[in-house]
Copies of this chain bind each other. A is one copy, B any other.
Amino acid sequence: MLSIGDLSKRTGVKVPTIRYYEQMGLLAAAERSEGNQRRYARQDLERLAFIRHARDLGLDISAIRELIALSQHPHQPCGNVDRIAADHLKSVRDKIEKLKKLEEELERIVTRCDGDHSIEDCYVIRSLSDHGLCDSEH
């Protein structure tokens, strides 16, 4: 049996975060030692690794909760699982698109500023003040 600290070291998830996941219902309430400390078995380690991996991929807590619930019915068809992942892929793509537009605009703003003139004339400040200087909508 692993202590919460052991589990933390093995998964890279911080101790308070593990307790938080338990509170949020992603991890089952752990067994306890005689002195009331949490003790974990291998399944808990796997479950936490699953959660960690899903979080790293940017899935939010409620999506993960749903995936866990689905994974406990292994003989059902996996359409919902696929949908969750595909939806998330779409939202990641949307975010990338938005950030690329930001990148372009920031680039445009920054490259017109040599950092060596007065704030009064600074393109960065002027761009922020005047939306009309933007190329694209946002």
A106 CB contacts on chain B under 8 angstroms: 57, 85, 88-89, 92
Is there an interface contact between B113 and A78, defined as CB atoms closer than 8 Å?
yes
Closest Cβ of chain B to A59, distance in Å, is: 9
> Assembly of this chain: how many copies?
2
Is there an interface contact between B117 and A78, defined as CB atoms closer than 8 Å?
yes
Majority SS of interface residues in chain A?
Answer: helix
A23 at interface, CB cutoff 8 A = no
Closest Cβ of chain B to A9, distance in Å, is: 16
Is there an interface contact between B74 and A119, defined as CB atoms closer than 8 Å?
yes
Is there an interface contact between B103 and A96, defined as CB atoms closer than 8 Å?
yes
A27 at interface, CB cutoff 8 A = no
Is there an interface contact between A129 and B49, defined as CB atoms closer than 8 Å?
yes
Contact A92:B103 (CB < 8 A) given known A53-B128, A115-B79, A125-B67:
yes
A29 at interface, CB cutoff 8 A = no
Is there an interface contact between A71 and B113, defined as CB atoms closer than 8 Å?
no
Is there an interface contact between B46 and A124, defined as CB atoms closer than 8 Å?
no
Give 4 new A-B contacts, CB below 8 A, not counting A70-B119, A78-B124: A70-B125, A82-B110, A82-B115, A92-B102
A-B contact pairs, 25 of them (CB 8 A): A46-B129, A49-B129, A53-B127, A57-B102, A57-B105, A57-B128, A58-B102, A67-B125, A70-B119, A73-B119, A74-B118, A75-B119, A75-B120, A78-B115, A78-B125, A79-B115, A81-B124, A82-B114, A82-B115, A83-B115, A85-B110, A85-B124, A86-B110, A89-B106, A92-B102
